[in-house]
Amino acid sequence: MAVRRKFTQTKLFRALVIFGVLWVIVAFGPEWLLAPVRTSVMTVAWPLQKIFSVAAFESADTFRFFTSIGELKGENERLEKERLHLLVENAQFSDVSKENDELRRELGLLPRDQFALKAAAVLGRDVSGLGNWLTIDQGSLQGIRKGMPVIVDKGVLIGKVEEVFPASAHVMLLSNPDSLISGIALDTEAKGIVKGEYGLGLLFDMVLQSDTLKASDTVVTSGLGGDMPTGLLIGTLQETRFSSDRLFQQASIVSPARFDRVRYVFVITDTL
């Protein structure tokens, strides 16, 4: 069985006593006594002090180096953000400038002396990709109502308002198979119905066999059967033929407007 020693007999106690004596000598001893001690200590400690000094300077330089790397990284990130911000601003400015030029051009070509118009931007298109619908940024709060004609430059009809919300509206394009508009050929005065072909184009249908139908003739709205005013341009006739039951004549119509590229439209809210 091990014998427990007293604390005063341990090495720890002896070390503490020696340390205390040295501390008293250093703190309260006379100068003549401490000078040799300091000299001896400095002589012994100088190599270590030099090593620690060099290490300290190296550590400081290393710290400053990594700090500078961090600062440069932060500065590069800030500059990159500024560059991207400037690129976005420039792109937005160019886009807005282009939109303003396009809007001014269309405004200059509109029949403003004939109709009261409400300008609208296109917010979305037919998700099916068939080109049957547009969504515009004007709605009932801006006086838009169902059935109002929708045109682009030079009074080209592209559709009519079909569904209205407070701040937006859905426009049924002429290419929608549910779209039916009364039309008339300018040269021959042949009358018929303009209807969509599932986003593939327009068809001038239900033309009586007694009427003359010719290619290159211009078709406009006849103003019959609804809120559609007379004389809105629809397109040019091509490929005249008989219907499948041979009871009527029909022809394809090419619109001067590209429905898939329209960015601005104008809703006819009233006739002047």
Report pLDDT digits (tens) over 137-158: 999 999 999 999 999 877 889 9
Residue 268, pLDDT > 70, answer: yes
Residue 198, pLDDT > 80, answer: no
Q: Which residue has the higher pLDDT, 193 or 70?
A: 193
- Indicate the helix (H) or strand (E) that contains 203: strand 202-207
Retrieve residue 209's tokens: 């066999």
Mean pLDDT value across the chain: 76
pLDDT, one tens digit per residue, over 91-131 is 444 444 445 555 555 544 455 567 888 999 999 887 766 67
- Indicate the helix (H) or strand (E) that contains 151: strand 149-152
Retrieve residue 42's tokens: 């400095």
pLDDT, one tens digit per residue, over 207-224 is 999 999 999 999 999 888
CATH number of 115-271: 2.40.10.340
- Work out the pLDDT band at 17, boundaries 50, 70, 90: confident
Residue 1, pLDDT > 70, answer: no
Retrieve residue 223's tokens: 């103003």
Residue 261's pLDDT is 84
pTM over 0.85: no
What are the boundaries of each domain within the chain? 12-109, 115-271
Residue 19, pLDDT > 50, answer: yes
Indicate the burial class of 54 (C-beta count within 10 angstroms; 0-12, 13-18, 19 or more).
exposed
Retrieve residue 230's tokens: 């007379």
Alpha helices by DSSP H, listed for the chain, are: 11-28, 31-109
Residue 204, pLDDT > 90, answer: yes
